[in-house]
Amino acid sequence: MYIPTLDDMTAARKRIAPYIHRTPVLTSSYLNDLTGAELFFKCENFQKAGAFKVRGACNAVFGLPENKLERGVATHSSGNHALSLSYAAGRRGIPCHVVMPRTAPQAKKDAVRGYGGIITECEPSTSSREEVFAKVEAETGADFVHPYNDSRVIAGQGTCSAELIEQVEGLDAVIAPIGGGGMISGTCLTLSSLAPEVKIYAAEPEQADDAARSFRAGHIIADDAPETVADGLKVPLKELTWHFVSNHVTDILTASEQEIIDAMKMIWKRMKIVMEPSSAVPLATILKNKQVFAGKRVGLIITGGNVDLDALPWMTGEKR
């Protein structure tokens, strides 16, 4: 297991600069008044392909050696990593193979194909996904880019907080959602070296709180198939991300489904930005832990904006 370093992050930053946005940081006087903290929203919903994941994907793709280009890259994902890897591969002109459950929403399949991704469908189970992926990998010889348990990906995600601390001075804390832990690991990688005084919090749905339970237990706990509106946060920690989480995170806070939906709607209404349910978890946890953040300058990572506008969670909330 190779643990990425600050040098890897710095190299990533240079490598991916031509293909990504330096995303803006927004503020809201309303949300500052409401929380008693000074909040700085790092808007990766405005990122290329609509999410921070394009940072890690671009770092993996543009760091590939010449002799691997022809065979391209492969991954399994039904979400932002699939989109981002397809985008990155398209920019480099190499093939990108994506294993995706046949039950994934048509809109997501269309978006991956829109960026040039080649989809192979599997059944919606872990065993089928692994079996189909192994076959695709063997047949194509493509380079496997894991959505988060990959040092290239983590180094890429670390570029986000490197920008944030340049954009906002004197941060006391940064909080980001946690699923598999890619963004949080990148944040730990960067801040533990460049700004070790900044506390790092992770925010997780109560209904998929395997990272919070792992954190308290001192070892990885993985749930089989948690259900949450924050659909980017269902996956478990793996060894690389556990390394960063267990060494550098101050705490992992959780919020209920309704708290996540309320925070999401509040951000849409007050800040006029479109973002995913996963991205609302940090604000939801701040609102229920005001004493932790009061008087502090807090960076929040708005991780992505790829949401189905025809099925917003407050529209379907009654059915939950």
Can you spell out the DSSP letters for 206-221? GGG-HHHHHHHHTS--
Q: Does 228 bind its own copies (CB under 8 A)?
A: no
**C-alpha distances out from residue 105 to 78, 101, 102, Å:** 9, 9, 8
CB of residue 309 to its own copies, shortest distance in Å: 6
| Residue placing its CB nearer to its own copies in the complex, 23 or 77 | 23
Angle at 177 between CA 175 and CA 181, to 5 degrees: 105
Q: Does 278 bind its own copies (CB under 8 A)?
A: no
DSSP code, position 318: G
Q: Does 320 bind its own copies (CB under 8 A)?
A: no
Q: Does 277 bind its own copies (CB under 8 A)?
A: no
Q: Does 312 bind its own copies (CB under 8 A)?
A: yes
Region near its own copies per CB under 8 A, out of 33-41, 136-144, 149-157, 309-317: 309-317
CB of residue 105 to its own copies, shortest distance in Å: 12
Q: Whose CA is closest to 173, among 189, 191, 194?
A: 191
- Tokens coding 210: 């395997």
Region near its own copies per CB under 8 A, out of 173-181, 217-225, 252-260, 307-315: 307-315
From CA 168, how far away is CA 191, in angstroms rounded? Answer: 13
Q: Does 268 bind its own copies (CB under 8 A)?
A: yes
CB of residue 88 to its own copies, shortest distance in Å: 15
The residue within the footprint of its own copies, chosen from 273, 287, 288, 296 (CB under 8 A), is 273
Region near its own copies per CB under 8 A, out of 187-195, 211-219, 285-293, 303-311: 303-311
Backbone angles phi, psi at 144, to 5 degrees: -80, 120
Looking up tokens 């990155």 gives 88
* Measured distance between the N- and C-terminal CA atoms of the chain, rounded to whole angstroms: 41
Residues 110-149 that bind its own copies (CB under 8 A): none
CB of residue 46 to its own copies, shortest distance in Å: 6
DSSP code, position 295: T
CB of residue 122 to its own copies, shortest distance in Å: 26
Angle at 151 between CA 145 and CA 156, to 5 degrees: 85
Q: Does 168 bind its own copies (CB under 8 A)?
A: no
Q: Does 265 bind its own copies (CB under 8 A)?
A: yes
Region near its own copies per CB under 8 A, out of 181-189, 229-237, 287-295, 306-314: 306-314
Q: Does 232 bind its own copies (CB under 8 A)?
A: no
The residue within the footprint of its own copies, chosen from 134, 222, 294, 315 (CB under 8 A), is 315
Q: For residue 172, what is the enclosing H or E element?
A: none
CB of residue 272 to its own copies, shortest distance in Å: 4
Q: Whose CA is closest to 81, among 149, 127, 29, 175?
A: 149
From CA 162, how far away is CA 177, in angstroms rounded? Answer: 17
- Tokens coding 140: 């194509």
Size of the site for its own copies (CB under 8 A): 19
Q: Does 274 bind its own copies (CB under 8 A)?
A: yes
Report CA 46 to chain centroid distance, whole Å. 14
CB of residue 167 to its own copies, shortest distance in Å: 14
Sheet holding 199-205, edge to edge: 25-26, 38-43, 297-302, 173-177, 199-205, 251-255
| Residue placing its CB nearer to its own copies in the complex, 14 or 269 | 269
Binding footprint of its own copies on the chain (CB under 8 A): 24, 26, 45-46, 50, 265, 268-269, 271-275, 305, 309-310, 312, 314-315
